[in-house]
Structure 1
């Protein structure tokens, strides 16, 4: 009895493996959404267009978008060039929007004089504004237009 079960399972496994290999070969090359081969680095054009004023947000608590290029900004463990203009101590004289006070709170809610380490890497949440075509159709509607 055990022999029949083992034989049946091994036959089933080999059949499934063969079908999987055939299906993978028929699927062809993997294609990306960007229409370029996967091993080619895309060249990004200078498509940043700074708009006057702040861009409308699509939902509450959406991080504001960055209305300028970030190409030359250094953000690493020791340096954050965004703070040159946007830190509360510099924003007024530079005419830049200041950071939200939440950026100066640590994990426990204690207020700090410098940006919290959990908010140090700006491009985790904030993205540069770009006038680029969408890769896929988007049917998102802002919450105020229900």
Structure 2
């Protein structure tokens, strides 16, 4: 697929990628949620029902995820009001492939979830130019998330 034919999902909020928390290992993030008694659960949601909190996308990253459905199926993190916190490019790949998206839905609205996520020790920051793909890492996180009930 040509990156010129990739659709960017409608932009909800417009935080730049370098302002958005990158959660690091999902098991650490979920453990932090549990430690702070913040509820979350697994969902499978129509990709068109989600909204972005990040205003920047890398079409090359989306294209590579579109041809690797197993990686794109790794769960993303969303807020209770259906904003994507982490996993914008996996969501965009599913959106383009007209697939549902697996997610961990946290019981907080997006602005509160961003604020809380920024306080966790595993949180990092990257700008849009430094997005990298590690299929092994995403697949490993997918396996870890399957073990959370």
TM bucket, shorter chain: under 0.3
Give the structure with the larger strand fraction. Answer: 2
Between 1 and 2, higher relative CO (CA 8 Å, sep ≥ 6) is seen in 2
User: When the two structures are superposed, what TM-score results if normalisation uses the length of structure 1?
Assistant: 0.20
Give the structure with higher Rg (CA): 1
Give the structure with the larger helix fraction. Answer: 2
User: When the two structures are superposed, what TM-score results if normalisation uses the length of structure 2?
Assistant: 0.19
